[in-house]
Amino acid sequence: MLRKPSSITNPYYSGIAVAILAANLAWSVAVAVEPASPRGEDQPNQAIDPLSDRFADSEGEEVPNFQKHIVPLLGRLGCNGRACHGSFQGRGGFQLSLFGYDFKADHEAMLDEDTGRVDLEDVDESMILAKPTDADLHEGGKRYDKDSWQHHVLKRWVEAGAPFDQKEVQSLTKLEIQPAEIQFTNQSDHVKLRAIAHWQDGSAEDVTELCRFSSNDDSIADIDQNGRVQSGTSGDTHVVVYYDNAVVAVPIIRPVGPPAEHQPEYTHPVDRLVQTKLNKLGIVSAGRCTDAEFIRRASLDITGILPAADTVRTFLADKSSDKREKLLQKLLNSPGYAAWWATRFSDWTGNSEEQLNNVLPVRNAASRLWYEWLRVRLAANVPYDKIVEGIVTAKSREQGESYADYCKSMTEACKPGNENKFAERDGMPLYWTRVNFRQPEDRAIGFAYTFLGIRVECAQCHKHPFDQWSKNDFEEFAKLFSPVRFNQNQVTPDAKAERKEILAQITEGKDLKSNGDIRRAIQQAARSGEVVPFGELLIAARGMTSAERRKLIARAKKAGRKQPAPRIPTGKILGEPDLVELDKDPRPALMQWLRSPENPYFAKAVVNRVWSNYFGAGLVDPTDDMNLANPPANAALLDHLASELIQHEFDLKWLHHTIVTSETYQRSTDTNETNINDRTNLSRHLPRRLPAEVVHDAVLLATGSDTRAKELRGELEEMAIAEGQPRLRNQQNFVLEVFGQSIRETNCDCDRSDSPSLLQSIYLRNDSEMHKRLSDKNSWVMQACEALGVPGPVGAQDPRQLAAIRKTDAMRKQMIKRAQQFRRLPEARQENLRKQLEREFASAAKRVTRAGFAVPKFEELIADPEVWASLEPAEMAGNAEAVATVSDLIEEAYLRTLSRYPDENESKIALQFIEESEATAAGVQSLLWALVNTKEFIITH
């Protein structure tokens, strides 16, 4: 497990042992920051003077150190950057390691005679001295002046023979930045940073001139190449200092205003830690949100389900002081909680039917099994570390289960509706079987995304630019995943005979000429209910190969050591100095490290992701990019929640409850002159667009009748938050695609998009599916019209009935026209044609009556032909007595869409609009359409 050095006091990652192994040496880096001095004044130290003082003259006895001075200086000058010699192809025939962390390779490259960078015989002809001082000669421009301290450092190193000994590489134990925190008061303020390197041998040196600097927001604080920080606009950010393999972020604050005279006193730990930061910034937070805002916000965030109108009405009428707590408990124990969070965990763990293709012999089953396994555990509130353990250490077979029983159990579980049988199994091995998760490197990247919330892929090629991970670290970490193997046709040796027997029963008597034929026969057998063979997750633990043993012995001889005893292959956990031997399944050791209280990432990663669900952004944003250069917006808060989650034995419902019961979560969107520009310090609720699945289901619930909505909320099978219908996940669904549902191509949180787009507006405003839902016979509009006793929307009628109506309506219009012509005839002519017209009317009246139209008497038609034109079809007329008023239904429409009552002006406008509409149904339909298209419907309140 990770060991915490006593010297580590980093406020952003307290408790982190930042220890890594680089190639053939151990690095132990700990970032320590001292308390900030008033207005950023420097603190006394025992560090030796900077190189600019010690190498001001060309003469001297001190020889620069390659690791401590030469490589950092090249980095400061930009020589080993991406745009220069640090690029993959190098530049001008000379290549350095990116960011300069492969000392051995860089030293060899500089001494290579072909590059001419170092000429030990004619020092001044060394290109490392000649080219950077000549803008015309050097493609990268002039980097320093001749006879400058930089020139003296490099020249004296070459004169001394360009020394470097791999065995003498030291570990940087601490990079101390003075001041550790800066608080500006005016835009004209500036502070010069000082960086002190503390080395393994106890020495300390001022290395400010060798550091690289950057700002996370240069509009608030800009920093130049010399470490001078210039104040900007009000707000807070960090400047980042890079030296050797250390990365240190320094908080910068410029208050928005003076501290409030009467600062609120909170008892909730979340609120106390948030308020501490707000006090520093001089930001006054918004007040509490309304009950209407809370029920909608909490319901959508916790369960992903829009609250029903009756539920909102009851909650708003409740006068008890603990009604929010009671609502929270109800939501956390509802089926929607487990359904929605199983979908979120499916995102984070990479549950993708596309990537699970052909993993099981039964098609379109793997994703359903994965989801249900998670849902059942979340419903039972299984501790987070136990859920992860079931994934990380998963095995295909249960303890003591035979291969035949395993296949029988899995065949049964794969049948639609039987997913709960898979959920009863201890492990979820499907995580390891994905097509895009087969190679050790892919697993290292995906595992780090999912369970650590970090992005290590940069270290696959070079040292991570924003963290301490080296290429060697990545390679060692990836080794841990190499023994885990999966192939649908592979089983453990003891199961081969049983698999062969099961397969023989399926293929007997069939002419199967290819593996494809066999696979299709197995799939057909599974559909028929026969037991089919399943592949198994295998652990290919092994000893050291002959080639590996020879390489180890050669390395020992070269180092002058005795030949070592043969070892087994090993891998190293990120940040862990000890090696994990690969002669057995390495995953239990990996899981032990994950749940260790000293683990710097595991608890914080899940806290950060859950937090982002409630606030739209994590305390570290992006949520899967926790690195030293991207510190939390509120480090103390993240530390507190992570440590408390561990203390509460990874109880996820405790975490949800803690967040939602805070005043921080319950704040309104109200702005004031201090918090109007705040987007990171939680001084107000920031409205955000609802996730794709929630939008999809909210439209269903808002437009469907009460009966239909109750069915959806009760069963969840058709809800996108529960990955209900297979088409919602496995096939393209326009709504979910447009609103950015996670595509789950990788484990990156960026697979989900919350960005707005024109297509989203087009769908809600003009999509045929949207209009169909508004006019469907099971729509709320139809229900409302029935309650009003008025005709329903035309779209609610049966198409065949509508065709018949149109046909007979044409006949009605023809009779009206004939009656009008009859009236214009002379009386004598009318008398001759009267009986003929009566017969035509009687015939037409029968057909028109059957179609549902009201029919006048013949004499009424002759007296006034237009009387028939004003009569509507009986099927389209509201024959029932009204049981509600238009005002009642306006109120209902607001409650079911926006979870609040309309104000007086809104009610007046809606009532007037409906009354002035050609038909009441059209007015009600337009009202609901307008509410669904408001920003208030599509975003959080």
Q: Is 398 exposed, middle or buried (0-12, 13-18, 19+ CB in 10 A)?
A: middle
469-504 pLDDT per residue, tens = 778 788 888 888 989 999 888 889 999 999 999 988
Q: How many CB atoms lie within 10 A of CB 779?
A: 23
pLDDT for residue 123 is more than 70:
yes
The pLDDT value recorded for residue 29 is 31
**Which tokens sit at 850?**
């059957």
- Mean pLDDT for all residues in the chain: 84
Place of tokens 């841990």: 480
pLDDT for residue 245 is more than 50:
yes
Contact 216, 237 (CB under 8 A): yes
User: CA angle, 579 as apex, 577 and 585 as ends, to 5°?
Assistant: 140
pLDDT for residue 809 is more than 90:
no
Contact 377, 535 (CB under 8 A): no
The pLDDT value recorded for residue 819 is 82
pLDDT for residue 23 is more than 70:
no
pLDDT for residue 738 is more than 90:
no
State the alpha helices, DSSP H only, in 304-396. Answer: 309-317, 323-332, 335-349, 366-379, 384-392
Residue 178, H or E segment: strand 172-178
How far is 593 from 554, CA to CA, in rounded Å?
33
Task: Please compute, for residue 447, the number of CA atoms within 13 A of its CA located in the half-sphere on the CB side.
Answer: 26
The pLDDT value recorded for residue 117 is 81
Q: For residue 122, which of 132, 130, 131 has the smallest C-alpha distance?
A: 130
How far is 441 from 765, CA to CA, in rounded Å?
45
Largest CA distance in the chain: 137
518-544 pLDDT per residue, tens = 888 888 888 888 999 999 999 987 665
pLDDT for residue 300 is more than 80:
yes
Task: Please compute, for residue 600, the number of CA atoms within 13 A of its CA located in the half-sphere on the CB side.
Answer: 24
Banded model confidence at residue 564, pLDDT cuts 50, 70, 90:
low
Interval 419-439 mean pLDDT: 94
Contact 478, 448 (CB under 8 A): no
Q: Is 812 exposed, middle or buried (0-12, 13-18, 19+ CB in 10 A)?
A: buried
862-902 pLDDT per residue, tens = 888 777 665 444 444 444 566 789 999 999 999 999 999 99
**Which tokens sit at 899?**
């979870």
Percentage of the chain lying above the pLDDT 70 cut: 85
The pLDDT value recorded for residue 240 is 95
The pLDDT value recorded for residue 837 is 83
The pLDDT value recorded for residue 662 is 97
Q: How many CB atoms lie within 10 A of CB 589?
A: 19
The pLDDT value recorded for residue 602 is 95
pLDDT for residue 396 is more than 90:
yes
Residue 912, H or E segment: helix 904-916
Banded model confidence at residue 227, pLDDT cuts 50, 70, 90:
very high
Interval 822-827 mean pLDDT: 84
pLDDT for residue 24 is more than 50:
no
Q: Which residues contact 672 (CB under 8 A, 6 or more apart)?
A: 284, 286
pLDDT for residue 22 is more than 60:
no
The pLDDT value recorded for residue 732 is 58
The pLDDT value recorded for residue 75 is 83
pLDDT for residue 15 is more than 80:
no
The pLDDT value recorded for residue 340 is 96
33-86 pLDDT per residue, tens = 333 333 344 444 478 999 989 998 888 889 999 889 988 888 888 777 666 766
Partners of 571 in beta bridges: 580
3-class secondary structure per residue, 286-316: CCECCHHHHHHHHHHHHHCCCCCHHHHHHHH
Q: Which has more pLDDT, 565 or 888?
A: 888
Helix axes 652-660, 602-615, angle to 10 degrees: 40
**Which tokens sit at 154?**
């490099």
131-144 pLDDT per residue, tens = 777 755 666 677 77
Q: What's 197's DSSP letter?
A: E
583-621 pLDDT per residue, tens = 889 999 999 999 999 999 999 999 999 999 999 999 999
How far is 665 from 165, CA to CA, in rounded Å?
56
pLDDT for residue 726 is more than 60:
no
Contact 122, 158 (CB under 8 A): no
Banded model confidence at residue 859, pLDDT cuts 50, 70, 90:
confident
Lowest mean pLDDT among 89-103, 221-235, 922-936: 89-103
Q: For residue 278, which of 289, 290, 266, 288 has the smallest C-alpha distance?
A: 266
539-560 pLDDT per residue, tens = 987 665 677 667 767 766 766 6
